[in-house]
Amino acid sequence: MPHSCHIPNLVGYSIDGGRLRFTGILGSGSNGVIFLTEDITTPAPHVEYAVKCVIRAEKGTRRYGLQKQEVVYHQRLSAHPSIVTLHNVIEEKHYTFLIMDYCRGGDFFSFLSRRSTYRGDDECVRYMFLQVLDALEACHQAGVYHRDIKPENFLLNEDCTRLYLADFGLATENLLSATYGAGSSLYMSPECIGSEFIRRAYNTRSNDIWALGVILTSMISGHNPWSNACASDACYRVYLRNNNFLREMLPISESANTLLQRIFRRESTRMITIAQIRTAVGNMDTFFMHPEEIARGNDYLRSAAKSYYCGSEHEAYFLGHSSVVHDGAGLGGEDEASEGTDEDTVESLSSTLSVGPVTPELCAQQVDISVADIELASYLSRPLYPPRAAISAPAPKKPRQLSGSAGFLRRFMGRFNAE
C-alpha cells in the first residue's frame, strides 16, 4: 500500500483551478496527509478547509474499492451535525483530495492529553461522551460500522464544545466481518483482534461499542484499560479473572465500573446498545471515585489519581484526603499494592498506570487490502465520484524524463502550479 511519505509537501500550491491554496500541514496517517487550505475566492479572512490527500488507487483494485467506500460512507453521513462535513472530492491523475470542514480545536485525543479542566467534572465528561455516542449512533443507523472509533478520529470546533467524527477509511456496511485487525489495537475488541478465537466473523457494531468503553475509561481515569484485549496482555488477563480490576486500579466510580463491565463482556454476551449506554451515562450520579475511596486505595490507584487530577480545578477535592504519593511510588511497592495483584500485572502497570491517556499508536492500523476476504460493497460499478468532483485545472503536460525523487517531486508540483 502506498504510504503517506510518498505524498509531497503541497504548501504553497493550489488545486481546483487555483481556488484552494495549501497553507499548512495538519497531520498525516498511514495512507494520507491532511493539509490546511484556504479558498482564495472568498473574502478575507478566507474560508479554510481541511483537505485529505491520498494516492489514487488504480481502478479495479481492492484499494480503489476501499477508497470509494470511504467517500460513499462519508457522503452518506456528512449532513449529520456530529460528522465532519465532506464538501467535495477532487480527483487528479495520481491523487484524490477530500475537501472537509476545518475543525480548529484539533482532535479529541490531544484535548484529553493536554486539557485538565474536564477531569473531575461530571457534566463536562457527560456532555462530551454523549456527543461521541450521537456520532456513532448516526453511523449505525445509516448502516455504517466505523471500525476505527478512537479519540484521534473525533475533531473539535474552535472552543472545544462540539465533537465531530471523521475518517471512514476502515468503515464497512457488513454487520459481520472476517477482516481481523481492522482499526487501532488499543480500541479493538478481542474478537476483532482474532488471535485467540476460531476464525469466524465478528460483529462490527459490537466492536464499535467496545471502543466506546476504552474511550470512556480514558476520559474518566486518564488511562487506557489495557494495550490489547487479548490474553497476552497482563492487564486484560487479570480483568478476565476479576472484572473489578479497573476499579481496583483506577479512580472510577462504582456506577461507571458497572457500565464498563457491561461493555467489556465477551462478544456472545455483549448485548448493550448505544441507547442503553446513553441512558446509563445520562443517569450516572458520578463517573469518579470518591476522595475517601481514593485515600483508602492501593498505591497504584492513588498514583493513577494523582497523575489524572494534577493541575485540574478539582485536584484539591479529589486528592485532599489522599496521602502523598511520591514519584514512582506504588509502581513496585508492597502492602496494599500487592493484594490481589499478580506479579506479571505489576510490571505492566508500572508503565501503563504511570502516564496519562497516551495511546501507543497515533495512526490506524490499515488492513492488508490485498487479502482475499476484505469486504467490498456491491456497487463498485457506479461512477466513483459525482461530476462536480472533477478538477477545473487543465490536464498536466507529459514531462520530460527525470530521474530520482527530485524529478518526481518537480513533475508533481508542476501539476499544481496555479498559474
251 cis-preceded (ω within 30 degrees of 0): no
Summarised one tens digit per residue, pLDDT across range 215-241 is: 999 999 999 999 999 988 989 999 999
**52 labeled binding residue:** yes
**pLDDT at position 37:** 98
**pLDDT at position 343:** 41
Average pLDDT on 122-129 reads 98
Average pLDDT on 116-137 reads 97
Nearest to 132 by CA among 110, 108, 113: 108
| Distant-in-sequence, close-in-space partners of 340: CB < 8 Å, separation ≥ 6 | 242, 248
302 pLDDT above the threshold of 70: yes
**SS3 track for 265-327:** CCHHHCCCCHHHHHHHHHHCCCCECCHHHHHHCCHHHHHHHHHHHCCCCCHHHHHCCCCCCCC
354 pLDDT above the threshold of 60: no
Is 148 labeled as catalytic in the residue annotation?
yes
**pLDDT at position 341:** 46
C-alpha cell at 404: 530520482
355 pLDDT above the threshold of 70: no
| Mean pLDDT of the residues in the chain | 81
**pLDDT at position 381:** 35
pLDDT band at 269 (very low <50, low <70, confident <90, very high): confident
Average pLDDT on 138-166 reads 97
183 pLDDT above the threshold of 60: yes
**Sign of the alpha-carbon torsion through 298, 300, 301, 306:** positive
Residue type, 182: A
C-alpha cell at 44: 478575507
**pLDDT at position 375:** 64
Domains in the chain, please, with CATH? 4-102+386-414 (3.30.200.20), 108-352 (1.10.510.10)
d(CA 244, CA 158): 38
Is residue 165 helix, strand or coil?
strand
DSSP 8-state class, residue 270: -
**Sign of the alpha-carbon torsion through 255, 256, 257, 263:** positive
Q: Is 183 left (phi over 0), alpha (psi -120 to 50) or beta?
A: left
Active-site residue, from 16, 101, 148, 233: 148
C-alpha cell at 346: 505489576
Is residue 47 helix, strand or coil?
strand
Summarised one tens digit per residue, pLDDT across range 40-68 is: 999 999 999 999 999 999 999 988 998 99
pLDDT band at 5 (very low <50, low <70, confident <90, very high): confident
**pLDDT at position 12:** 95
Report the share of the chain in percent with pLDDT over 90.
Answer: 63
